[in-house]
Amino acid sequence: MTCRSKQLPALLLGTALVASVLGLGTVATAAGSGDTPAASAVGHTGHTGHTAAVSTRASGDDPDGDGYIPAVPPVTDVTPSQATPPPRYHKEFQANCAVTHTAPDDPIVYPGQPGKSHDHTFMGNRTTHAGSTTASLYGRDTTCLAPADASAYWMPSLYKGDRKISPVGPQVIYYKAGVTDYTSVRPFPKGLRFVVGDPMQSAQQFRGHKGFVEGWECGDSFFNTDIPATCPSRPDVQLNLRMQAPSCWDGRYLDTPDHKSHMAYPVVKPGTNDNMCPASHPVALPMIEFKMAWPVNGDMSDVRLASGRGYSFHYDFFNAWEERTLKALVDQCIVGGFQCDARGYDLYHPERAAVLNADYRLP
């Protein structure tokens, strides 16, 4: 049964209405996420699965098909922290996860619709497919070093000509503090999911995205909005990209129709350089940062993403961590202000025992 009190942000409704009037289907916006709205995408012709659509389709986690997945229970007793704890340079741990498979599926944007999306490269949970739900992912086998991380991570596949190029080995996925008060960060709620970036974004929008870190890089070339045309032909050179996710949650929904509005990037506290969550999204969560590396160099003129040009890069996250393990890592490494590896161990603070044992499991 659809809850009539749920409403899309006005900007999203306006964009969707324009698209409807023009007969163009749904168009993504980034309302509430700090992204630039993709209203300019109206009239854009992309290849199949190249639209970050507003989802209104029944699925295992969204039986009424309205696109809203409520958090049960919601988090309603939080106000954005304006505290400034003792400065710590690092407040993070790593989730090192290898590629599992590729497929033209997207269980967030196109739930239950196999083959609907452009091709994606999946990491972490080995079972991720178009029909994946919180229940189907939770507790399943994973390529992440920590067996408790059954989360699904995915991004558009990379091609050189017609040959698909996948990252080799565990990729670095950081869990960091995105706010100044790192002691206020709490674990992701089970089943939270979101999309970072937009396949329809322009080069300018990609460069101005709040999650933009260093853009595409290879060798000594940094801050590229598109994939460089050439990279040094050396064994030690790979194509790299880093991109950060929003880390402030509204506390109400695990997903929204645009897959972004329930999340937001931190804002600057007036009169300071401190970052804090906005009042609309008061719950501070870990900030995910993808640090991907593809084994390709030399002539890059025919290197592209399944979603298009390099600036169409985006990625998806679907949380399926075992709750106790995620909380233990967040508490020691982010809230504690340490620089941890995938075991929750800080090399520079050996007095702090690792959170996980040698098998990457919580003792």
pLDDT average per 10 residues of sequence, the chain (363 residues): 41 33 30 34 33 67 95 96 95 98 98 97 98 98 98 98 97 98 98 98 98 95 96 96 98 98 97 96 98 98 98 98 98 98 97 97 97
- Structure tokens that stand for 28 in this block: 């993504």
Could you tell me the CA-to-CA distances from 192 to 12, 13, 46, 259, 263 in Å, in that order?
21, 23, 28, 10, 10
Q: Is residue 348 part of a domain?
A: no
Distance of alpha carbon 253 from alpha carbon 168, whole angstroms: 34
Unique residue bearing structure tokens 């996925």: 173
- Which phi-psi region, left, alpha or beta, contains residue 34 (left: φ > 0; alpha: ψ -120 to 50)? left
Q: Is residue 360 part of a domain?
A: no
Q: Is residue 42 part of a domain?
A: yes
Distance of alpha carbon 328 from alpha carbon 345, whole angstroms: 12
Q: Is residue 346 part of a domain?
A: no
* pLDDT for the residue 56: 65
Distance of alpha carbon 27 from alpha carbon 39, whole angstroms: 7
Helices then strands, each counted (H, E), the chain: 4, 23
* pLDDT for the residue 283: 98
Unique residue bearing structure tokens 């993709």: 38
Q: Is residue 155 part of a domain?
A: yes
Q: Which residues face 165 on adjacent strands?
A: 158
Could you tell me the CA-to-CA distances from 321 to 239, 284, 326, 327 in Å, in that order?
29, 17, 6, 9
* pLDDT for the residue 21: 26
For residue 14, the surrounding DSSP H or E stretch is helix 10-21
Relative to beta strand 248-249, strand 263-264 is antiparallel
Distance of alpha carbon 283 from alpha carbon 281, whole angstroms: 6
Q: Is residue 350 part of a domain?
A: no
* pLDDT for the residue 58: 85
- Structure tokens that stand for 278 in this block: 């906005």
- Domain region containing 283: 10-335
Q: Is residue 351 part of a domain?
A: no
Bond preceding residue 86 cis, omega within 30 of 0 = no
Q: Which residues of 65-82 are buried (b: 16+ CB within 10 A; e: fewer)?
A: ebbbbebeeeeeeeebbe
Q: Which residues of 326-350 are buried (b: 16+ CB within 10 A; e: fewer)?
A: bbbbbbbbbbbbbbbbbbbbbeeee
Q: Is residue 317 part of a domain?
A: yes
With a CB cutoff of 8 Å and minimum separation 6, the contacts of 310 are 216, 224, 225, 226, 227, 304
Number of domains in the chain: 1
